[in-house]
A = this chain, B = another copy of it.
Amino acid sequence: MSATAQLEARFQQIASIDAASGILHWDAATMLPASSTDARGDQLAALAEVSHEKLTDPAMAEWFAAAQSEPLEDWRRANLNEMHWRWSHATSVPQTLVSALTKLRLKSEHQWRSAKETSDYAGFLPIFREVIALTREVAYAKAAALGLSPYDALLDSYDRGLRRATIDPIFTQTKTWLPDFVGEVITHQAAQPTQPLNANVPVATQEALGRAMMLALGFDTTRGRIDTSAHPFCGGAPGDVRITTRYREDRFTDALYGVLHETGHALYEQGLPEAWRGLPIGEARGMSMHESQSLFIEMQVSRSLPFLKFLLPQLTKTFGLSGPAWNEANVYRNLTRVERSHIRVNADEVTYPLHVIWRYELEQALLDGSLEAADLPAAWAEKTQAYLGITPPDHAHGCLQDIHWPEGMFGYFPTYTLGAMTAAQLMAACRRALPQLDAELARGDFAPMLHWLRTHVHQKASSATGEEILRAATGEALNPDHFEAHLRARYLA
């Protein structure tokens, strides 16, 4: 076996172990008996340890050295490069630090949950300081090994090639217009009275509609499934994609748009090339691109007027609804409602980037030490006031709301907004390629759109960088003007 073939076999083995973990994570969120969480923790820890052992095995360095001189087809060369990138990240952090952070993360998540419940930032502060300190150590270790700045090294671990130098100008430009734009939209919407969508819809009915929508969009239920969990997610394993949503009888849009969002992620996963399964080149291209696919479906497609023409008749029929609130214009106004609100995960697509930008700024300051953890609430309130004109009533609605920092995930937040911007840019290109797109969406014919995504995004997997894929699909690098144009067209037209 060539060194490259040995590396490929090893990465396929690691992928299978990680896929097993993916299913166990799904099971933990959907099926696990209440008192079996410790047993599950042991299982997941054992698999994570074995996976990491396999990736950092001393033999890998020799294989990588030998593989450099082996003649390879282009895709295998590209895959070798991806394998090397992952290995570099994994070996850049000393094992003792990895273990320490893993253990600390568990404790921290646990403490964060109770602290959030009681909005007790002071109580969370001691362990939060430890998390920041260890994350900083990880960032410096990665930075030294990869020749990047510490924050760039963290960005790179979620989205290969992502750098502050790319994000800074985009977020700076966004800050010049978005805060005012929010005000304009709110004023604009205030002039259009909207009747709320009051309906009590049984869970089984909501399930049926959600399933109909995901099937219409192209979700393959022979290679995936949908279930219920406390928070919607797309997980499972390659070749076995599992999405979830949650149901409230008095707010069916939560479940429905949860399904639509996760269906976007799932279509990406299900569209990755089968031939490359288990190899890094065959995986999704980072977090920004993944989020672009969920937001393409949830925001670009499913909150559009054409899609509503397809959805509304099924909605009113399945749910047995009628009355003045259920006319197209009013439902559309409900689906595109903009509000200044505190909780990021419930934010609309207009205000969402502001939530992300202040996190982006604050997490860098926390990491480089220019912001003390103790001063975070004050800094948070300052940013929310400056960007969104609101001040959180308590920490649970402020800096304690997200699980990311308590878990040591710094450098992840920007990918949400880069994903939203990528989605807008992809939709603009898709629209150019498919002149009949609106008519197709209105009659529920999603095949041409899905084919376009498959060809230009899904089938590329990780065979090129995110920027290369976006350039090939749209003719340019990430350009936030498409996102701005989308918001102006949808919210001020």
Contacts and interface: CB of A to CB of B under 8 A. Distances in A.
A278 B240 contact: no
A35 interface: yes
Nearest to A31: B225
Contacts of A220: 35
B222 A34 contact: yes
Contacts of A371: none
A346 to B, nearest CB: 30
Given A31-B225, A42-B278, A50-B50, A240 B20 contact: no
A20 B19 contact: no
A40 B222 contact: no
Interface string A412-423: 000000000000
A13 B46 contact: yes
A237 B43 contact: yes
Nearest to A45: B16
B222 A39 contact: no
A69 interface: no
A38 B225 contact: no
A238 interface: yes
Interface in A89-116: none
A239 B19 CA distance: 22
Contacts of A34: 222
A377 interface: no
A244 to B, nearest CB: 13
Contacts of A225: 31, 33
Nearest to A22: B43
Contacts of A46: 13, 16-17, 20
Contacts of A448: none
A47 interface: yes
Contact of A42 (B16, B21, B27, B50): B16
A224 interface: yes
Interface string A223-254: 11100000000000111100000000000000
Interface size class of A (residues with CB under 8 A): 35 or more
Most chain B CB neighbours (cut-off 10 Å) among A16, A35, A45, A277: A16
Contact of A47 (B20, B31, B33): B20
Interface in A1-47: 12-13, 16-17, 19-21, 23-24, 27, 31-36, 38-40, 42-47
A200 interface: no
Given A17-B47, A20-B46, A223 B278 contact: no
A417 to B, nearest CB: 33
Contact of A27 (B23, B39, B45, B224): B23
A40 B223 CA distance: 11
Nearest to A32: B240
A221 interface: yes
Which has the most chain B C-beta neighbours within 10 Å: A19, A36, A223, A277? A36
Contact of A224 (B23, B33, B54): B33
Interface string A204-232: 00000000000000001111110000000
Contacts of A21: 20
Contacts of A45: 16
A239 B40 CA distance: 9
A220 B21 CA distance: 25
Nearest to A223: B35
A240 B39 contact: yes
A19 B42 contact: yes
A402 to B, nearest CB: 29
29 contacts: A12-B42, A13-B50, A16-B42, A16-B45, A16-B47, A17-B46, A17-B47, A17-B50, A19-B42, A20-B24, A20-B43, A20-B46, A20-B47, A23-B23, A23-B24, A27-B27, A33-B222, A33-B224, A33-B225, A33-B240, A35-B220, A35-B223, A36-B222, A36-B224, A36-B239, A38-B239, A39-B237, A39-B240, A50-B54
Given A16-B43, A33-B240, 15 more contacts: A16-B46, A17-B43, A19-B43, A20-B21, A24-B24, A27-B27, A31-B31, A32-B240, A33-B221, A35-B239, A36-B237, A38-B239, A40-B240, A42-B278, A50-B50
